[in-house]
Amino acid sequence: MKILKFIIPVIFLCFVNTYEAAAQETKKEINNLEEEIRANEEMLVSGVEGLERIKKRFEKKAGEKKNTRKEIERKRKIFRNVEARLATLDKEIKKQKKKLVKLQEKLNDEEAESETKTVVKTESETKEEKTSFVNNEEELAERQERLKKAREKLDRERKEREAKYLKEQEELLKEAEKLNQLDNEIKVEKEKIDKQKEAIRNKKIAENREKINELEDDIIVNEEILISGEEGLKRAQTKLDEVKADSNSTQKSITRKQSIVAKIQKRLDKIKAEIQEKKNAIYKLNNPS
């Protein structure tokens, strides 16, 4: 009986410690996921702003020269590329938030299992927890509002492009007629040139030009996302500096914001590497051996 009285409490404590360890692991997973969501939301908001800059850039170029069908299609491709990335990012955020809800439910269950263990908090710890909760609640409301505005802006951009589509189709039909006429004239002139030599030369140039155009389009997209991401990084860094300067901030809050900054920086470094890689490819195409 004495042995049983000793073993039963030990077993009970083992169960409690197990539940507490599981809860701590779940909390770490929740914190990491929240940081991923924060980084993705910053990229989404900044990406919508980048989409607006692309639009203004194209509108400025439209005033400099008349757009051909190929130029219009090229611009649409860039818009679709950016919108597709933003849509994918938006879906990822929603998916992560669903996962976050499940993890929070899991954490509640794990904490409920370990309720028998009494945790004594000092007065300073209780005050710190309340302050952190209020800050997180206000910050969450701010993030939700910014994300809502970003989605609304993206939706407006999409509707505006759809409204312009029919008008562009009429212009493209007229442009197509001119291009057909021009194409016929070019064919007549080409008959006067050495067909075999020019065919080989033009084929190589055309192939390289098409590849260069695709690479340049990708660079434009990546550069705009890079600019937007750097702005998001500045905002995240500013928030980190504010938290560091706040005497009420906890080390946990500072570490969390540092992690967000690091994740955004990692994404930007990857984009920079992609841009440089494509520029190197363009250089090789412009300078064939």
Residues ≥6 apart with Cβ < 8 Å to 157: 48, 51, 52, 55, 83
Task: Give Dmax over CA atoms of the chain in angstroms.
Answer: 111
**Structure tokens, 200:** 């080989």
Residues ≥6 apart with Cβ < 8 Å to 221: 54, 78, 81, 82, 85
Query: Could you tell me the end-to-end alpha-carbon distance of the chain, in angstroms, rounded to an integer?
Result: 90
pLDDT computed for residue 275 by the predictor: 92
Distance between CA atoms of residues 52 and 156, nearest Å: 11
pTM score? 0.51
CA 275 to chain centroid, in Å, comes to: 16
3-state secondary structure the chain: CHHHHHHHHHHHHHHHHHHHHHHHHHHHHHHHHHHHHHHHHHHHHHHHHHHHHHHHHHHHHHHHCCCCHHHHHHHHHHHHHHHHHHHHHHHHHHHHHHHHHHHHHHHHHHHHHCCCCCCCCCHHHHHHHHHHHHHHHHHHHHHHHHHHHHHHHHHHHHHHHHHHHHHHHHHHHHHHHHHHHHHHHHHHHHCCCCHHHHHHHHHHHHHHHHHHHHHHHHHHHHHHHHHHHHHHHHHHHHHHHHHHHCCCCCHHHHHHHHHHHHHHHHHHHHHHHHHHHHHHHHHHHHCCC
pLDDT computed for residue 124 by the predictor: 45
pLDDT computed for residue 20 by the predictor: 66
pLDDT computed for residue 265 by the predictor: 92
- In this structure, is the dihedral angle defined by the CA atoms of residues 19, 20, 26 and 30, taken in order, positive or negative? positive
pLDDT computed for residue 13 by the predictor: 46
**Structure tokens, 276:** 């440089």
**Residues of the chain whose pLDDT is less than 50?**
1-2, 4-16, 118-130, 132-134
Which pLDDT tens digit goes with each residue over 58-77?
Answer: 777 665 556 677 777 787 78
Which pLDDT tens digit goes with each residue over 172-218?
Answer: 788 888 888 888 888 777 777 677 776 676 677 677 888 888 899 99
Specify whether the CB–CB gap between 35 and 258 falls below 8 A.
no
pLDDT computed for residue 278 by the predictor: 92
**Structure tokens, 88:** 């994918």
Domain spans of the chain?
Answer: 2-112+144-286
Specify whether the CB–CB gap between 128 and 248 falls below 8 A.
yes
pLDDT computed for residue 70 by the predictor: 77
pLDDT computed for residue 270 by the predictor: 92
